[in-house]
A and B are shown apart, each in its own frame.
Chain A
Amino acid sequence: MTSTTPGTRETLIEADPALPIIRITRDFDAPPDKVFRAWIDPDLVARWLGPRDSTIRIDSWDARTGGSYRYASVRNGEEVAAFYGSFHEVRPNARLVQTFTWEGMPDGVSLETMTFDDLGNGRTRCVGLSVVDSLEGRDAIMASGMEVGVNQGYEKLDELLAKS
Chain B
Amino acid sequence: MIGFLLRRVLAMAATLLAVCALTFAVFYLLPSDPAAQFCGKDCSADRIELVRQQLGLADPLIVQFWHYVTAIFAGRSYGTGPYAVQCDFPCFGYSFQSAQPVWDLMTDRLPTSVSLALGAAVLWLLLGVGAGVLSALRRGSWLDRTLMIGTIGIAALPVYFTAMILLYLVVTVAGILPYPRYIAFGENPGQWVTNLILPWITLALLNAALYARMTRNSVIETMAEPYVRTARAKGLRERRVVGRHGLRPALTPVATMLGMDLGGLLAGALITESLFSLPGIGKLFADSLNKADQPVIMGITLLASFFIISSNLVVDLVYAWIDPRARLS
Partners in one complex: no
Residue positions of A touching B, CB distance < 8 A:
none
